[in-house]
Structure 1
Amino acid sequence: MHRLTPLAILTTCALLAGCHDGPLFALKTINPVYRSQWAEDQKLGPTDVQRREELQRLVTSMPSLSDADQEYWLKHVEALLENDKNPEMRTLAIRALEGCRSQRVIDLCEKQLSDESIKVRMAVCDVLATRDEARSTQLLGETIGSESNEDVQMAAIAAVGKHRSPEAAQALKASLRSRNPAVRVASVESLGECTGKNLGEDPQVWVAYLDGKEVDEEKKSLTRQMRDLF
């Protein structure tokens, strides 16, 4: 038995509603003018606030659902991602995928990596961080190399660090040569997490390591030892 309002209804509402207010839709909760409009909106279907609450419940409940129920909701999430004009709703829909065990999650993530919304693309990176399949690592590596937005690129760098594999480490190699110092620092930190190695903060040392050269590990400073404890 499915305990949530079918997202197909939510998608239909999105199509009927036309334009949305994006990140500003939460302001409607304190505006009495919008409150009066909600009564009229509810005659057509759920309001944005109701739809958002439904999606938040789905994000929370998805991990505990059976495989059959997850597949049921996955179909509705896919429809929402294809049709909903509100990036806030698409972002929440992506967040719901994090708790879904289906292999089709990666297919949906790949499609949404081209979403116009930065928040959606960042959410995709977070979901891919939880998937240890080789294809997930590949998608994150491609995002690091092709993404024009720095926030999304940084999210992909952090995400691939969660994949403890040689392929994940190699996916970070090109970003070590970035002209952006923040990207280089993030790549070094991600490599440390990915490999379990402590090779310092010099990107060139990490490049040498990834090229298969002999590199000595550094002893952790007392400050770093204390930081790692917490």
Structure 2
Amino acid sequence: MSLSAKPKLSPSTPSLRGSVCRQAVCGYIIAATVISSLTGCHDGPLYALKYTNPYFHHEWQQDRAFGVTDHQRRQELQKLAKVIDRMEPKEQAFWYQQVQNIMESDPSPEMRRLCVLTAAKVATPDALTLIETGLKDDNLIVQMQACKALGDRNEPRAAQILATTIGSTSELDVKHAAIEAIAQHDGKTAVNSLRLVLDDLNPATTDLAINSLRNVTNEDYGTDPAEWIAQLDQASPAEADGNNPRMANEPPAIPKL
């Protein structure tokens, strides 16, 4: 037989037939991987998060054989946190429901932390409830993220929750996170809660409180907690409420006759 001649492949040759089959399967998997990397997911963005919803379990049952990794889900939730505030209301509501599902059932603290981060950008009162749930989480990182999220919210209730956390938590890291977050709120609630912290015996805690008070009051009375206490205690109600101090010194308007 000529060396250049190609041997015939017989269907009865198990080794060759198995090799061909393996090559075909490998080719399919590689093609599927390439397509997936180009499109970003199996069904558009955030497939892995959608997949975690039991509603989609049957629809994606076959895809489960390929597996959805924690890394995929974490990446997609990070992506969702960046874009959810720019979504249309209906789309935002849909994905926020997925976030709620994850928050309620996911064993991963990092996933729950990202849920809180995402909820901070959702403009519904219900999102504040999810963030507050984060304060009750058994993981400190989730609790600290909830404090930061409350600082990013502009509702008065967010400041009230932070003030309650400052006065009640036994976790120093969480307390410090709440002190830093409440600096983004103005008003009497923020000032009063920080004023109480100035009596703390921990210098690191009082330093954080003073830094936050500078932001809330737009004043700087130095680094001595006692000086801040004296100034705040003699402040007028208008100043303590976080308003511009110059407004408190203006004469009342003359009533019209």
Whether TM-score is above 0.5 comes out as yes
Larger radius of gyration: 2
- Look up the equivalent residue of 1:129 and give its one-letter code: G
Ranges in structure 2 where 5+ consecutive residues have no aligned partner: 1-43, 55-62, 237-257
CA distance in 2, matches of 1:6, 1:193: 41
What's 2:47 paired with? Answer: 5
Pairing partner for 1:142 from 130, 148, 164: 164
Q: CA 1:49–1:6 in structure 2 vs 1: closer, same or farther (change >3 Å)?
A: closer
1:203 to 208, 219, 225: 225
Distance between the aligned counterparts of 2:199 and 2:224, measured in 1? 11
- What's the CA shift string for 1:93-132, capped at 9, x where partnerless? 1111222111111111111211011110111111111112
Answering whether residue 94 of structure 2 is matched by residue 72 of structure 1, we say yes
Q: CA deviation at 1:208?
A: 2.4
Q: Which residue of 2 aligns with 1:126?
A: 148
**Aligned-partner residue type, residue 210 of structure 1:** L
Q: 1:106 and 2:128 equivalent?
A: yes
Provide the residue aligned with 2:200 in structure 1: 178
The one-letter code sitting in structure 2 at the alignment partner of 1:61 is V
Is 1:153 matched with 2:175?
Answer: yes
Per the alignment, in what secondary structure is the counterpart of residue 61 of structure 1? helix
Percent identity between the two aligned chains: 35
Which amino acid counterpart does residue 179 of structure 1 have in structure 2?
Answer: L
Q: Distance in 1 between matches of 2:53 and 2:94?
A: 15
Once residues 163 and 224 of structure 2 are traced to their aligned partners in structure 1, the CA distance between those partners, rounded to angstroms, is: 21
Q: How many Å separate the matches in 2 of 1:191 and 1:153?
A: 15
Give, in angstroms, the shift of residue 205 of structure 1: 2.0
Q: Deviations over 1:130-182 (max 9, x none)?
A: 11211100110111111122111111000000102222111212211111110
Q: Please state if 1:212 is matched with 2:254.
A: no
Contact 2:120 2:131 in 1 (8 A): no
Displacement of 1:42 after TM fit? 5.4
Distance 1:57 1:130 in 2: 19
Q: Cα RMSD (Å) of the superposition?
A: 2.2
Amino acid at match of 1:124: A
Q: For residues 127 and 234 of structure 2, what CA distance do their matches in structure 1 show?
A: 34
